[in-house]
Chain A
Amino acid sequence: MDWLAGWLKTVIMVIMLATFVDLLLPSNTMQRYVKTVLSLFILLTLLTPVLQLFKKDWDIDKLLSQAEKSQNERTMLASGGGNATSIPTLSDIKNSARKMQDADGKKTVELVQRQLEGLMKEDLQKQTKWPVQKVQVQVQLDNNGKPAISNVKVTLDDIEARKQSATQAKSIAAMEPIKPVDPVKIGSIPTSHKQQSIGSNEATGDQPAKISQQEVDQLKQGLARNWLVDPDLIEIGVEQSKGRMAR
């Protein structure tokens, strides 16, 4: 449309020029001739697009190839947006690789957790008279990508223990090895939260299950020895009949 604007501009300009010249002309004798020439100018200006059309030596092959090229470019642009066939960039590939690695690591951790839970449960069951209800192991990958145990939560079943304690208390007690006497401490023992909660459970339960701090420590030590877990990371709790957790 640029050429149209330019052409119109030229036409208007030439007509204005002709009018001006008409005004400038000194006398009537010259006017007819000058007007003729000016009208020729205006005619030529009006014909300019036609002239250009005929001046250009059109090359059909060139025009066709040009049109094809522009068409191709347009289709390339249109398809470039959402087409899957376009080649992904390096950063995209890296991103997807990282995602895959993360997913892989998560799966590994889950697998390790599950296997450790099963093995630990069996192991614990051998060590204690308390029926082990659940062992929850939390594994985290360290900086080198190796899984390390970050937390172990052992839940002992209280209900089962009560039943068993009624029938097997004596036999288990008989089977238990004699433990060395703990060092006797005289004075006020700092009552920890654990002991308090156990104490409160004893008070509320009608026939309360009892797990002593000593037993808990023993279990912890056993776990720590067999599984090389830091004892601080081990939590041992008793599942109450009401579903509450007590230590």
Chain B
Amino acid sequence: MEIIQIVGLGLIVTILTLIIKEQKPMFAFLLAAFTGIMIFLFLIGKISSVIGVLEDLAVKSNVNIVFLKTILKIIGVAYIAEFGAQIVRDAGQESIASKIELSGKVLIMVMAIPIITVIIETVVKLLPT
């Protein structure tokens, strides 16, 4: 039961952080950030198996592999941006967190550019000249 481990770890780290916060706020932040990264890395291992299944299905049903790669990249970007923003927000830097989120959004939109180009080209070709 991994969820018990994770929740337990989170609770312990929370208590520790609360205790340390009074003396050394810096260490409390580092502890929280480190725990967050630990949980994230643990979850990445689980996500990879899900992605493997998705890839198999996509190959079987003739989905263009470019689609799949882009979608996976988008998921990754979203996760990483979210995670970083949250850690920064924990440190009390709300503005930097919002910048990270903005960069994540922009990168996602950049990845969508090739698709948008193709669609627009098709529509333009369909139109009578």
Interface of A, secondary structure class, is helix
Q: Are A33 and B109 in contact (CB under 8 A)?
A: yes
Q: Is B27 in contact with chain A by the CB < 8 A criterion?
A: no
Q: Is A30 in contact with chain B by the CB < 8 A criterion?
A: yes
Q: Are A40 and B104 in contact (CB under 8 A)?
A: no
Q: Is B48 in contact with chain A by the CB < 8 A criterion?
A: no
Residues of chain B from 57 to 82 with CB closer than 8 A to chain A in the complex: 57-58, 61-64, 67-68, 70-71, 74-75, 78-79, 81-82
Residues of chain A from 23 to 54 with CB closer than 8 A to chain B in the complex: 24-27, 29-30, 33-34, 36-38, 40-41, 43-45, 47, 50-51, 54
Kindly name the residue among A20, A41, A50 whose own CB sees the greatest number of chain B CB atoms within 10 A: A41
Q: How large is the interface on A (under 10, 10 to 19, 20 to 34, 35 or more residues)?
A: 20 to 34
- Please name all residues of chain A whose beta carbon is closer than 8 Å to the beta carbon of B81 when the two chains form the complex: 30
Contact of A30 among B101, B118, B119 (CB under 8 A): B101
- Please name all residues of chain B whose beta carbon is closer than 8 Å to the beta carbon of A51 when the two chains form the complex: 118, 122
Q: Are B61 and A12 in contact (CB under 8 A)?
A: yes
Q: Is A21 in contact with chain B by the CB < 8 A criterion?
A: yes
Residues of chain B from 37 to 91 with CB closer than 8 A to chain A in the complex: 47, 50, 54, 57-58, 61-64, 67-68, 70-71, 74-75, 78-79, 81-83, 85
Given contacts A29-B82, A37-B109, contact A20 B115 (CB under 8 A): no
Docked complex Cα distance between A44 and B75 (Å) = 19
Interface of B, secondary structure class, is helix
Contact of A54 among B54, B70, B125 (CB under 8 A): B125
Number of A-B residue pairs having CB atoms within 8 Å of each other in the complex: 90
Name the distance in Å between A182's Cβ and chain B's nearest Cβ. Answer: 109
Name the distance in Å between B70's Cβ and chain A's nearest Cβ. Answer: 8
Q: Is B111 in contact with chain A by the CB < 8 A criterion?
A: yes
Q: Is B105 in contact with chain A by the CB < 8 A criterion?
A: yes
Docked complex Cα distance between A129 and B20 (Å) = 156
Contact of A33 among B57, B108, B122 (CB under 8 A): B108
Docked complex Cα distance between A47 and B123 (Å) = 9
What residues of chain B have their CB less than 8 Å away from a CB belonging to chain A? 47, 50, 54, 57-58, 61-64, 67-68, 70-71, 74-75, 78-79, 81-83, 85, 101, 104-105, 108-109, 111-112, 115-116, 118-119, 122, 125-126
25 chain-A/chain-B pairs, Cβ below 8 angstroms? A10-B63, A13-B61, A14-B67, A17-B68, A17-B71, A18-B71, A20-B50, A25-B75, A26-B82, A29-B105, A30-B101, A30-B105, A33-B105, A33-B108, A34-B75, A37-B71, A37-B112, A38-B71, A40-B112, A41-B67, A44-B67, A44-B118, A50-B122, A51-B118, A54-B126
